[in-house]
Structure 1
Amino acid sequence: MIRHLINRKILNLIFLFSTVLIFGQDYRLEDFETDSIPIRENLWKANHSKEDWVILKTNDSIKIKPNDYNYFKGDSLPFGQKEVAKKLNNQYSIRAVKKVEDGYIIGLNKGEFGGGLWFLSEDGNSSYEIMPYKRIHQILEFNKKLYVISGLAHMGSNYGNLLELKREENWRVSKTYKLPGAPNLMIREKENVLIITSEYLMSFNKYEKLIEILKAPFYWGVLYPSSAIIIDNHIYIAMRKGILKISDFYYNRNYEWYVKK
């Protein structure tokens, strides 16, 4: 019995050590090679891949890491998870946080089971729901305003919105912009915000115009884009199985699909 427990502890330590090695490892784009764009059966093979990536930019150099599925985006909360959940109607599915002057805007996302958008005071003692049910993916400050992306792609449904938040007595949604499908993420690009949805790359500019830049060369929504960076006029989008590079993505587009060597 003692030997069995010791062996089990050793196996657990080996698993923990290997997990740290896998998720702690960084790669460069040079560690990847180009492959055919994933369409048709190759797309579904990619959908079932165990490889999933996050891409980062440091001093105009590219760093690629395995996705640890820490979907939390935004600012940190100075409270424990249970303490916060008590103020959010016992909900733990925090996806996004944005610090504001007197507290925190908190977005929840439980997929097909719903979500919500909440305000939590700076001292953590009071809260209220800004908007129920909406699946919140990210909160971003742009042009001195707060914007939220929400939506869902599931079982034939595919919808999303860009929401502007405004503070009066309480925070509320002041404007809604319809997106062509569920959004995955937002990134800044010069004087614009780029929004990656399940099948489109959109731009939202300082004049509050939502513009389609391009339709994806394949339905990348099933590969769950996790992150993106822009270097020069090229955008790199990390997702399950690989990295999609779109060169000169505004005009003379060229698509390259990179997978791990």
Structure 2
Amino acid sequence: MKVNLLIILIVFSLESCLGQTDKKLISNWNTHPIPTNPDSLRKYGFSFHEWAVYKKNDSVFVVDKKELPSPQLPFKIKVKKADSRDFGGRASILKVEDGYLVGFYRGEWGGALYWVSSDGKNYYKISSHEIVQFINRGGKQYAIEGLAHLGTSEGSIIEIYKPNDKWAVREHLKLPTAPAVIALDHQDNFIIITSKSLLKVGRNAQIFFLVDKGLWYAALYPNSMVIRNNIIYAGMRAGVYHYDLSTGKDSWLLPY
């Protein structure tokens, strides 16, 4: 009897683990229509689940956001007291030929963009932009920056370039609302989810509204995005947003 009970427990545990593994593949999530009911959107806004997406071996996976490792530099920086306030909040890191670009986002308390040497012994401040995410396109370095707070939502795409011995920034494009995530489509257009909209930005810096007001506008906070086979997958609170760039059709993916 005890042996049978042990076998049942082992099988149950294996099924649970396999089920969790299967659910990490976005292809095993269930497709639902985009919710429009205010009560449903409100319920999603209070969800405890913050889903994040990533691509590996040409497959799209989804995990709890807490499972994704935070970006880390391979060394400790000895920060001067005068700069200590800047070195806080959510960090973004981009490796460049002479070291690292490090961006900090602290919400309504500000942000900063720094260059750090490859050994961490030297650094300097480039700007006070609130860096949300870096992206490389055609060998050039860009970042989305901005803030959505209370009644304010604003931001831009900036280019980070090196005119002489030091890195500098210039505005590439002002965005209609604060950006949350960015990726490149197969034509190297910027695909951006802002606090309100889904945008495509062409190489000539022209903005196309793919979705003017997305369901995430109800406080679902997009945190990650990947594009595979011309399909956008965006991780956010409660579920994953799915948008077909070829057809313009979207849906809402849930693990049940």
TM-score w.r.t. structure 2 length?
0.80
**Is the 2:224–2:236 contact (alpha carbons within 8 Å) kept by the matching residues of 1?**
yes
How much identity, in percent, do the aligned residues show? 30
Corresponding residue number in structure 2 for 1:193: 190
Q: 1:198: how far off?
A: 1.3
Deviation at 1:208, TM superposition (A): 4.0
Quick one: structure 1 residues 208 and 84, their matched pair in 2 at CA, closer, same or farther if it must change by over 3 Å?
farther
Distance 1:101 1:217, change over 3 A: closer
Is 1:100 the counterpart of 2:99? The answer is: no
After TM superposition, give the deviation of residue 105 of structure 1 in Å: 1.0
Residue 221 of structure 1: how far off its partner (Å): 6.5
The structure where strand makes up a greater share of residues is 1
Equivalence map 1:80-99=2 (5 Å): 80=76, 83=77, 85-86=79-80, 89-90=83-84, 91-99=87-95
> 44-53 or 85-94, which moves further after superposition?
85-94
User: SS at the partner of 1:222?
Assistant: coil
Q: Deviations over 1:110-155 (max 9, x none)?
A: 11111111111222222211112x3211111112211111111111
- Counterparts of 2:153 and 2:220 in 1: how far apart (Å)? 15
Distance 1:68 1:84 in 2: 27
Q: What is the rounded CA distance, in whole Å, between the counterparts of 2:27 and 2:172 in structure 1?
A: 41
Q: Is the 8 A contact 1:87 1:126 kept in 2?
A: no
Q: 1:238 aligns with which of 229, 232, 235?
A: 235
How far apart are 1:204 and its partner, in Å?
2.9
- In structure 2, relative to structure 1, the CA distance for the partners of 1:148 and 1:30 (3 Å cut) is closer
> Residues 195 and 127 of structure 1: is their aligned pair in 2 closer, same or farther, counting only changes over 3 Å?
same
Corresponding position of 2:125: 129
User: How many Å separate the matches in 2 of 1:221 and 1:164?
Assistant: 30
State the alpha-carbon separation in 1 of the partners of residues 100 and 221 from structure 2.
Answer: 27
- Write the deviation string for residues 76-133 of structure 1: whole angstroms up to 9, x where unpaired: 52212xx35548811232421111121211100111111111111222222211112x
Q: Work out the CA distance in 2 between the residues paired with 1:107 and 1:254.
A: 34
TM-score by length of 1: 0.78
Could you tell me whether the CA contact under 8 Å between 2:198 and 2:214 is conserved in 1?
A: no
Q: Is the 8 A contact 1:164 1:175 kept in 2?
A: yes
> Does the 8 Å CA contact 1:151/1:160 hold for their aligned counterparts?
yes
Shift of 1:34: 3.4
Q: Which runs of 5+ in 1 are unaligned?
A: 1-20
Relative to structure 1, is the Cα distance of residues 139 and 176 closer, same or farther in structure 2, using a 3 angstrom cutoff? Answer: same
Say if 2:164 is the partner of 1:174: no
Aligned 8 A contact 1:163 1:174 in 2: yes
Q: Could you give the per-residue CA deviations for residues 165-203 of structure 1, whole angstroms, max 9, x where no partner exists?
A: 121232111234111211111112122221111122222
**C-alpha RMSD over aligned residues:** 2.6
1:256 is aligned to 251
Structure 2 Cα separation of the partners of residues 31 and 88 of structure 1: 50
- Give the whole-Å Cα distance in 1 for the aligned partners of 2:149 and 2:113: 20
Letter paired with 1:231:
R
Which of 48, 51, 57 is equivalent to 2:49? Answer: 51
The alpha-carbon distance between structure 1 residues 183 and 106, as it changes in their structure 2 partners (threshold 3 A), is same
Give the one of 151, 155, 160 matched to 1:160.
155
Contact 2:94 2:100 in 1 (8 A): yes
- Give the number of aligned pairs: 232
Partner residue of 2:143? 148
Corresponding position of 1:65? 63
Alpha-carbon deviations, 1:50-100, whole Å to 9, x = none? 111112233443321111175846xx52212xx355488112324211111
Partner of 1:3: none
Counterpart CA distance in 2 for 1:241 and 1:256 is 13
The aligned counterpart of 2:202 is: 205
